[in-house]
């Protein structure tokens, strides 16, 4: 299938393949996605640092940034959100691990469309460059919130960032194009290139989840791209698709945006759930509890996710009767998601649980995501959302979903597959220091923000001194607590960066299967060579989670072993 | 629960607070129960020398019931929450009680302006009182508000009322409130509206009938 694409390079990757994104090897493309995503993550974290400093100490000269003007503040919060979702969560979780894992886990030599794959990462890099460029134009980057509601986003006289908002929109559209191409590749590869003997229900859960996430993305992104093009026309050609003065409808954008935006939550959630499933089975030495049921909950969640979007718009002036319908669908989605979490927890029953660094990350995903899950019920319930809408309660809620997804999920996956990606082991002690140094401050950042939200603190406010009820010393103390916790959490990331870079070059050499895991990627060398499995591709003889099978000497049973 | 943090000053604030309390109790029980089971399993089934893991597929009847029962209980809890949420929503947003006074609320970058009825208690007459940044109302009367925006999206948010409603340019959105506490409170703009979003606040003055009459008299010309 893709043999012609790499017949002629059995040497190591060349300069152009690594740095100019000329490689068609799925592992290289996965790493490129990961490092671009991590670099963008550093920018997103830097933005959070700058605006949290402003909130805790209004008017302070932020070290490494300077004083934050209101225009800069808006650009910082807008682009923090945009970057963390579109340039960190999506590339790292779906594109990086999807690219790296899918061919290895289903036992083939590369993606079905390797050149398309290369195009995908090239467009993605271009989108990142366009976004970064938007920070340096006149009046800086776009500051109309990551949801970009018109008319604010449509007219430069309102948002004051004529070029910044256009570049922002362009970058988002490019990024979507990159993921559309990547997603087509994932689904086609998983459908067509599985190892002989690998039936649909022998596919590792993470591959299922990434493919279903790609399907959700493909089905939901169309309306948003159409909306983005209309918004672009409104910005640069003076059309009036969203301009009420010209007969347009500003709320239309909100429907198009959230019709995509809510499935998008599940697009990033599902891969993180899949990663968790892989890790908890390996380190509890257990078969996944009710594989089929988990798969049904994923499909159920995916389908339902298309019918909940207007819960973002309860108070936005839509027909109030519509809120009732969307309350029902939104609260219903708790059923499959709760079921999935129950099944993950049930997987631990009867296990022999080893608390390695990747396992700690995977377990903390479950423990922390539950908070994000239950707080969502408040916001999905129309009556309660009247109060909570656009407060810090919403902000804390979605950080309790997105942080476990994008940050905890990434660290879980990276510490777990690092030996396979780079052929060396990471330091477990440093890994655990980094884990606790991240997870404890994380809770100290966002629990206070729940409280502030419940106290009526609304979002995207540069300085709360203009609101007498919010300017009290008690509430300010909580803002300081959140900011200080952020500083602690950010400083612990240095431990991770050191551990990653040191282990990449100097770490202990990794064996092929350091965790005694079953799935096919552990049967090839660490790191896998070009073509992955050498001359002979593996056969698959059983499901991916046959751990602790009675009557066997070993407590694992790799998928590729005949018996 | 919310009233410990933010005073209640409207007739429906208690309904919303009670709904939030109900959801807190239901989700709180589920949350702590789930975390308890989770950490309990982690402790009970931690790695111990000579104690291998069991082979469990998830098809065993005696284990499946531990998933199925919670599953049905979650559905029941969801139903309770949906019914309670829709009731509150209907009362606040779909229903309009008999109106006693009417006001106009206009959002524009970056201030709220208000048009109050004057001494004749009728909106749209010559003695209307226009203010910027100050809303004066009288307690224990049902107000209908007509919410407009001159430019971008804004959101009329009054935390003590538990009221929030977006303002959309080109449209007039109607809603209601009835204040039941005297005092001065914050009005916010809860929708990003540009560089001045952070300063787009206003003050709400809920007066007694006597105070309100005095205010009208002082501001009539």
Is the Cβ of A160 closer than 8 Å to some Cβ of chain B?
Answer: yes
Cis ω for the linkage preceding A361 (within 30 of 0): no
pLDDT in tens, B60-82: 999 999 999 999 999 999 999 99
- Length of chain B equals 221
- What is the reported pLDDT for A7? 46
Is the Cβ of A462 closer than 8 Å to some Cβ of chain B?
Answer: yes
Query: Which residue in the block uniquely carries the two structure tokens 């300010």?
Result: A476
- Three-class HEC string of chain B: CHHHCCCCCECCHHHHHHHHHHHHHHHHHHHHHHHHHHHHHHHHCECCCCCCCCCCCCCCHHHHHHHHHHHHHHHHHHHHHHHHHHHHHHHHHHCCCCCCEEEEEEEECCEEEEEECCCCCCCCCCCCEEEECEEEEECCCEEEEEEEECCCCEEEEEHHHCEEEEECECCCEEEEEEECCCEEEEEEECCCCCCCHHHCCEEEEEECHHHHHHHHHHHCC
Q: Which residues of chain B lie closer than 8 angstroms to A341, CB-CB? A: 34
Whether the CB-CB separation of B45 and A353 falls below 8 Å is answered with yes
- What is the reported pLDDT for A12? 75
Contact call for B71 and A374, based on CB within 8 A: no
What is the spatial distance between Cα B118 and Cα B125, in angstroms, rounded to a whole number? 8
Contact call for B74 and A143, based on CB within 8 A: no
Q: Which of B26, B31, B70 sits opposite A370 (nearest CB)?
A: B31
Contact call for A335 and B71, based on CB within 8 A: yes
- What is the reported pLDDT for A13? 82
Q: Which of A328, A345, A390 sits opposite B191 (nearest CB)?
A: A390
Whether the CB-CB separation of A61 and A67 falls below 8 Å is answered with yes
Quickly count: other Cβ atoms within 10 Å of residue A344's Cβ: 23
Quickly count: other Cβ atoms within 10 Å of residue A527's Cβ: 15
Backbone angles phi, psi at A548, to 5 degrees: 55, 40
- Tell me how far apart the terminal alpha carbons of chain B are, to the nearest angstrom: 45
- What is the reported pLDDT for B85? 97
Spatial neighbors of A3 by CB under 8 A, at least 6 apart, are: A109
CB contact burial A93-114 (16+ within 10 A = b; e otherwise):
bbbbbbbbbbbbbbbbbbbbbb
Angle formed by the axes of helices A205-236 and A162-192, to 10°? 150
- Shortest distance between the Cα of A209 and any Cα of chain B, in A, equals 19
Q: Which of B42, B109, B192 sits opposite A460 (nearest CB)?
A: B192
Is the Cβ of B182 closer than 8 Å to some Cβ of chain A?
Answer: no
Is the Cβ of B32 closer than 8 Å to some Cβ of chain A?
Answer: no
Question: Could you give the angle at the alpha carbon of A58 between the alpha carbons of A139 and A446, nearest 5°?
Answer: 100
Contact call for B58 and A549, based on CB within 8 A: no
What is the spatial distance between Cα A187 and Cα A207, in angstroms, rounded to a whole number? 9
Written as six digits, the tokens of A23 are: 């490689």
Query: Which residue in the block uniquely carries the two structure tokens 């809860």?
Result: B190
Is the Cβ of B172 closer than 8 Å to some Cβ of chain A?
Answer: no
Quickly count: other Cβ atoms within 10 Å of residue B11's Cβ: 18
Residues 6-45 of A with CB under 8 A from B: none
- Shortest distance between the Cα of A73 and any Cα of chain B, in A, equals 9
Is the Cβ of A387 closer than 8 Å to some Cβ of chain B?
Answer: yes
Question: Could you give the angle at the alpha carbon of B79 between the alpha carbons of B75 and B85, nearest 5°?
Answer: 140
DSSP A533: S
Q: Which of B37, B45, B53 sits opposite A555 (nearest CB)?
A: B53
Is the Cβ of A549 closer than 8 Å to some Cβ of chain B?
Answer: yes
Show me where the domains of chain B are located: 2-94, 101-219
Mutate to test the interface with B, among A346, A386, A450, A548 (most CBs of B within 10 A): A386
Written as six digits, the tokens of A47 are: 């933005």
Q: Which residues of chain B lie closer than 8 angstroms to A145, CB-CB? A: 192
Contact call for B192 and A317, based on CB within 8 A: no
Is the Cβ of A149 closer than 8 Å to some Cβ of chain B?
Answer: yes
Residues 130-159 of B with CB under 8 A from A: 151-153, 155, 157, 159
Give the A:B interface size as CB pairs under 8 Å. Answer: 286
Q: CA nearest B159 in A: which residue?
A: A456
- What is the reported pLDDT for A11? 63
How is A390-409 classified by DSSP, letter by letter?
Answer: TBHHHHHHHHHHHIIIIIIH
- What is the reported pLDDT for A10? 54
Written as six digits, the tokens of A103 are: 């061919």
Question: Which of B1 and A62 is assigned the larger pLDDT?
Answer: A62
CATH level 3 topology of A352-517: Cytochrome C Oxidase; Chain A (1.20.210)
Which CATH number applies to B101-219: 3.40.50.720, 3.20.20.70, 1.10.10.410, 2.60.40.420? 2.60.40.420
What is the spatial distance between Cα A316 and Cα A150, in angstroms, rounded to a whole number? 13
pLDDT in tens, B127-168: 999 999 999 999 999 999 999 999 999 999 999 999 999 999
Mutate to test the interface with B, among A332, A364, A369, A458 (most CBs of B within 10 A): A458
How is A30-67 classified by DSSP, letter by letter?
Answer: HHHHHHHHHHHHHHHHHHHHHHHHHHHSTT--BTTTB-
Q: What is the mean pLDDT of residues B193-213?
A: 95
What string of pLDDT tens digits covers the 563 residues of chain A? 444 444 444 567 888 888 888 899 999 999 999 999 999 999 999 999 999 999 999 999 999 999 999 999 999 999 999 999 999 999 999 999 999 999 999 999 999 999 999 999 999 999 999 999 999 999 999 999 999 999 999 999 999 999 999 999 999 999 999 999 999 999 999 999 999 999 999 999 999 999 999 999 999 999 999 999 999 999 999 999 999 999 999 999 999 999 999 999 999 999 999 999 999 999 999 999 999 999 999 999 999 999 999 999 999 999 999 999 999 999 999 999 999 999 999 999 999 999 999 999 999 999 999 999 999 999 999 999 999 999 999 999 999 999 999 999 999 999 999 999 999 999 999 999 999 999 999 999 999 999 999 999 999 999 999 999 999 999 999 999 999 999 999 999 999 999 999 999 999 999 999 999 999 999 999 999 988 998 889 999 999 999 999 999 999 999 999 97
Q: How confident is the model at residue B36 (pLDDT cuts 50, 70, 90)?
A: very high
Written as six digits, the tokens of B64 are: 């499946």
Q: Which of B23, B38, B190 sits opposite A390 (nearest CB)?
A: B190
Q: CA nearest B155 in A: which residue?
A: A316
Which candidate, A231, A186, A204, places its Cα nearest to that of A90?
A: A186
Q: pTM of the predicted model, to two decimals?
A: 0.95
């Amino acid at each position: 299938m893709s043999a012609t694409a790499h017949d002629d390079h059995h040497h190591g990757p060349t300069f152009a393949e690594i740095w100019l994104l000329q490689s068609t090897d799925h592992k290289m493309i996965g790493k490129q996605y990961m490092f671009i995503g991590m670099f963008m993550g550093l920018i997103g974290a830097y933005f959070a640092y700058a605006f949290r400093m402003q909130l805790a100490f209004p008017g302070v000269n932020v070290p490494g940034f300077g004083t934050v003007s209101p225009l800069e503040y808006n650009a910082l919060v807008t682009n923090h959100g945009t970057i963390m979702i579109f340039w960190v969560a999506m590339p790292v979780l779906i594109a990086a691990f999807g690219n790296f894992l899918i061919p290895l886990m289903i036992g083939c030599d590369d993606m079905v469309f390797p050149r398309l794959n290369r195009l995908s990462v090239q467009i993605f890099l271009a989108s990142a460059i366009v976004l970064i460029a938007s920070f340096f134009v006149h009046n800086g980057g776009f500051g109309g919130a990551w949801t970009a509601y018109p008319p604010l986003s449509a007219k430069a006289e309102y948002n004051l960032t004529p070029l910044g908002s256009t570049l922002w929109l362009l970058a988002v559209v490019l990024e979507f194009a990159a993921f559309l191409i990547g997603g087509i590749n994932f689904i086609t590869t998983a459908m067509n290139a599985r190892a002989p003997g690998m039936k649909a229900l022998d596919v590792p859960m993470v591959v299922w989840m990434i493919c279903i996430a790609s399907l959700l993305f493909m089905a939901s992104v169309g309306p948003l791209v159409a909306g983005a093009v209309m918004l672009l026309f409104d910005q640069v050609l003076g059309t009036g698709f969203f301009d009420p003065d010209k007969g347009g409808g500003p709320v239309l954008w909100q429907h198009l945006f959230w019709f995509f935006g809510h499935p998008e939550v599940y697009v990033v959630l599902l891969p993180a759930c899949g990663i968790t499933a892989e890790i908890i089975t390996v380190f509890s030495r257990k078969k996944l509890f009710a594989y089929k049921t988990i798969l049904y909950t994923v499909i159920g969640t995916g389908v339902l996710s298309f019918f909940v979007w207007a819960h973002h718009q309860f108070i936005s002036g839509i027909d109030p009767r519509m809120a009732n319908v969307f309350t029902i669908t939104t609260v219903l989605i708790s059923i499959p998601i709760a079921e999935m979490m129950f099944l993950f927890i049930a997987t631990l029953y009867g296990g022999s649980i080893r608390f390695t660094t990747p396992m700690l990350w995977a377990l903390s995903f479950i423990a922390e995501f539950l908070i994000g899950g239950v707080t969502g019920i408040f916001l999905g319930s129309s009556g309660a959302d009247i109060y909570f809408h656009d407060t810090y309660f919403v902000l804390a809620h979605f950080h309790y979903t997105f942080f476990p997804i994008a940050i905890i999920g990434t660290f879980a996956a990276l510490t777990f597959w690092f030996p396979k990606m780079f052929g060396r082991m990471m330091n477990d002690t440093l890994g655990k220091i980094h884990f606790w140094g991240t997870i404890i401050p994380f809770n100290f950042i966002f629990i206070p923000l729940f409280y502030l939200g419940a106290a009526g603190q609304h979002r995207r406010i540069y300085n709360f001194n203009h609101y007498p009820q919010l300017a009290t010393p008690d509430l300010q103390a909580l803002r300081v607590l959140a900011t200080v916790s952020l500083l602690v959490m950010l400083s612990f990331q240095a431990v991770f960066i050191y551990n990653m870079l040191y282990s990449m070059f100097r770490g202990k050499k990794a064996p092929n299967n350091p965790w005694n895991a079953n799935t096919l990627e552990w049967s090839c060398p660490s790191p896998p060579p070009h073509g992955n499995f050498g001359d002979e591709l593996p056969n698959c003889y059983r499901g991916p989670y046959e751990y602790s099978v009675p009557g066997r000497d070993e407590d694992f049973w790799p998928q590729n072993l005949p018996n | 629960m919310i009233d410990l943090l933010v005073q209640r000053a409207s007739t429906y604030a208690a309904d919303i607070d009670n709904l939030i309390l109900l959801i807190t109790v239901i989700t709180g029980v589920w949350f702590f129960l789930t975390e308890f089971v989770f950490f309990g399993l982690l402790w009970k089934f931690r790695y111990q020398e000579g104690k291998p893991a069991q082979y469990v597929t998830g098809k065993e009847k005696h284990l499946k019931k531990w998933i199925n029962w919670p599953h049905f209980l979650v559905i029941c809890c969801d139903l309770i929450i949906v019914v309670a949420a829709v009731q509150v929503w209907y009362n606040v947003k779909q229903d309009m009680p008999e109106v006693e006074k009417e006001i106009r609320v206009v959002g524009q970058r970056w201030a709220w302006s208000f048009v109050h009825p004057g001494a004749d208690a009728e909106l749209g007459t010559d003695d209307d009182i226009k203010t910027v940044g100050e809303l004066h109302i009288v307690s224990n009367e049902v107000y209908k508000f007509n919410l407009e925006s001159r430019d971008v999206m804004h959101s009329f948010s009054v935390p003590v009322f538990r009221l929030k409603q977006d303002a959309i340019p080109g449209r007039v959105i109607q809603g209601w409130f009835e204040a039941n506490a005297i005092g001065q409170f914050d009005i916010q703009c809860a929708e990003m509206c540009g560089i001045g979003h952070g300063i787009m606040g206003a003050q709400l003055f809920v007066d007694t009938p006597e105070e309100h009459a005095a205010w009208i008299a002082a501001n009539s010309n």
